[in-house]
């Protein structure tokens, strides 16, 4: 599964440069990514951000980063709590 703490850490680091993007990523960090087809997850996440008043460009970028961080985390495997060095 996806280690939520690692994903949230990556999202916070990516969003630091743009406060609006950081807010959008914080909203997405609370949403589940599992349980539906990727296209459905993407569409629901984008709709949630648009309903909250985010600009379409910001919402789209946030969803891409959010899903990309989850995919990167899954590719790395589970977090064993050890040092990654």
pLDDT in tens, 21-73: 989 988 998 887 777 788 899 999 999 999 999 999 999 999 999 888 766 55
Contact predicate 28/11, CB 8 Å: yes
pTM over 0.85: no
Find the domain containing 13 and state its range: 4-76
CA 5 to chain centre: 11
In a domain, 42, yes or no: yes
Tell me 85's DSSP state: -
Residue given tokens 């589940």 in the structure block: 32
In a domain, 53, yes or no: yes
- How many domains are contained in the chain? 1
Q: Report the C-alpha gap between 13 and 47 in whole angstroms.
A: 24
| Cβ burial, residue 1 (10 Å; 0-12/13-18/19+) | exposed
In a domain, 81, yes or no: no
């Amino acid at each position: 599964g996806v280690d939520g703490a690692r994903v949230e850490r990556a999202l916070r680091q990516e969003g630091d440069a743009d406060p609006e993007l950081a807010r959008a990523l914080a909203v997405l960090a609370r949403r589940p990514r599992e349980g539906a087809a990727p296209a459905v997850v993407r569409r629901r996440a984008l709709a949630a951000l648009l309903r909250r008043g985010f600009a379409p460009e910001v919402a789209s970028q946030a969803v891409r980063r959010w899903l990309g961080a989850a995919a990167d985390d899954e590719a790395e495997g589970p977090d064993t709590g050890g040092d990654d060095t």
